[in-house]
Structure 1
Amino acid sequence: MKADHYDSFAERYSVDNESNLINGYYERPAMIGLAGDVAGRRILDAGCGSGPLSAALRERGAVVTGFDSSRAMVELARRRLGGDATLLVADLSGPLPFADGAFDDVVASLVLHYLEDWTAPLAELRRVLRPGGRLILSVNHPMVYTAVNPGADYFALARWSEEYTFDGHTAELTYWHRPLHAMTAAFTDAGFRLSVVSEPPMSPETPREILPPHLVDRTTFICFIFFVLEAH
C-alpha cells in the first residue's frame, strides 16, 4: 500500500482508532500488555501512525522513537507527542535511519500484513535491536483471510482487500495473507526466537455499548494474532 493512500484519510482513521473496539479496546491494550514494564527502555514504534501506542509507552516511562511511511500520520503523531518527540517519515521497504542495536524493543502494530515480502523488513528490525531485544508485533490473524474469502487457499501467499469506514469515510485497505507457518519461518530466518504467541481477549474495560450483538456475551474473537520475538 502506498503511503499517500493513508494520507488521504489519516485524520479520520486516527479519530476512529482512538476508541473503537478493534484498536482502542483490543489491539492496543494487548500490545501494551505484551510490552510489560517499559520504564527506561529505548523503543522504536515501527509504523507509528498518529502515535497512540507511542504515547501510551512513553507514559509508562519508555524512551520512544517512531516512524511511519505516511507523512500525514507522522504530522498527527507530532501534534500528539509534542515537538520534543523523535518522529520520522521512513519506510520498512528500505534501510532505516538508525544505528545497529539502537533499541531495546521494537513494536510493529498492524504493519507487516501490508507487506508482500517480510525478508528485508524483518532483517532491518533485527539490525536495529540489541541482542536480546524484543520485537513485539501484531498482524491479521491468518484465519481471517479464509473467513472473509470462503474457499480461498489458506496455505497460499495471497493479496486481498477489504472496505472499512473510518469516522464516516470509506476506504479500502489491501493486505497480504500468509499462513502461520510462513510467519514463524520468516521470524526464525531473520534471527528471532519466538517467545510468545497470543490470541488475547478484549480489554475488560471495553464498553458494552460498542460491542456488536454477536460479541455481547463473549470476551474473545478472532481478529489479530500477536507475537513477542527475541533477537539473538
Structure 2
Amino acid sequence: MRPHVEVNDYDSFGAAYSAENEVNLINAHYERPAMLDLAGDVRGRRILDAGCGSGPLAAALRDRGAVVTGFDSSAVMVGLARDRLGEDADVHVADLSAPLPFADGGFDDVTASLVLHYLRDWTAPLSELRRVLRPGGRLVLSVNHPLLHKMLNPQADYFAVTEWTDEYTFSGQSAVLSYWHRPLHAMTDAFSDAGFQVAVVSEPPWSPDTPAELLPPQFAGRTSFVSFLFFVLIAN
C-alpha cells in the first residue's frame, strides 16, 4: 500500500522540492527567468517576495540590487531561504491568508511566484498585497495557466472555480499538490476589485539558455508551452 502523503505539505518535501527547483525546466529555465524579466531593473527597490519558498527568486532579486524581504507559510522553506540568503536575511514565517506583519505602503514591488493558485479565495490575500504596496507599486505574479486544468482534465468546466490535485516526485520524494483553477476573467476581476490595474499579461518562451536535454521531444520546433500565466499589476 502506498503511504499517505499530505496535500501541499511543503514542510515534509520542501528540501526535495527546492533541490529540483534549482535545475528543472519549468522553474529554473522558464518561470523564474520570466519573473525576473518582468521585474526588470530592481536596483534599490524594496521588494516583498510573497511565498518565497527556499529563496531562489529572492536571491536573484537581491543579486540585482533589490532590498528583499520574504515570507512563506512553511517553516522548513523559510529555514532553507535563510540558509541561502544568510541568517540575517529578512525572511518570515507568515500566511498570505492572514494579515501580514508589514507596514502599509512599505514596498515598491511584490513578487508572488506560483502562490495564488493554492488559494480558493483571492480577496483577502490580494487586499493585503495591495496594502503593503505604495501607490504605483507593482505586483509581479505567476499562476497556473487557466487552460492547464482543462487540458489535463478535458471533462472539466473551464468557467467553474474548481479544486484539483496532481501527484509529483521531487528528487525521488512523492508529493501531492492541490490547486484552485479559475478562469481568466475571474483572475482579472479579482485584481480590479483589490485595487490593481493590469499592465502586462505574459505567456513567455522558455529561457534561451535552457539545456536541450531538458526539453521534451514534443517541444521540437517550438519556443513556448502552456504551463503558467504571468501578470504585472499596478497598485492604484
1:56 aligns with 2:60: yes
Q: 2:10 aligns with which of 6, 9, 15?
A: 6
Q: Give identity over the alignment, percent.
A: 71
Over 3 Å off, 4+ runs: none
Q: What one-letter code is carried by the residue in structure 2 that aligns with 1:203?
A: S
Q: CA deviation at 1:218?
A: 1.4
Structure 2 SS opposite 1:221: coil
Q: How many angstroms does 1:210 deviate by?
A: 1.0
**How far does the alpha carbon of each residue in 1:115-156 deviate from its partner, in whole angstroms, 9 at most, with x for none?**
000000000000000000000000000000000111110000
Task: Specify the alignment match of 2:200 in structure 1.
Answer: 196
Alpha-carbon deviations, 1:158-198, whole Å to 9, x = none? 00001111111121100000000000000000000000000
Q: How does 1:35-50 map to 2 (within 5 A)?
A: 35-50=39-54
Q: Distance in 2 between matches of 1:76 and 1:205?
A: 26
TM-score, normalisation: structure 1: 0.98
User: In angstroms, what is the RMSD of aligned CA positions?
Assistant: 1.1
- Counterparts of 1:11-30 in structure 2, within 5 Å, are 11-30=15-34
2:225 matched to which residue of 1? 221
TM value normalised by structure 2: 0.96
Cα 1:217–1:16 shift into 2, 3 Å: same
Tell me whether 1:104 sits opposite 2:101 in the alignment: no
The yes-or-no answer on 1:143 pairing with 2:147 is: yes
The residue correspondences of 1:118-133 to structure 2 (distance < 5 A) are 118-133=122-137
Distance 1:24-1:4 versus aligned 2 partners, 3 A rule: closer
CA distance in 1, matches of 2:70, 2:11: 17
Aligned residue for 2:171? 167
Query: Contact between 2:7 and 2:176, CA under 8 Å: does it hold in 1?
Result: no
| Contact 2:139/2:232 (<8 A) preserved | yes
State the Cα distance separating 1:84 from its structure 2 match.
2.1
Task: Give the aligned length.
Answer: 231
5+ long unaligned stretches in structure 2: 1-5
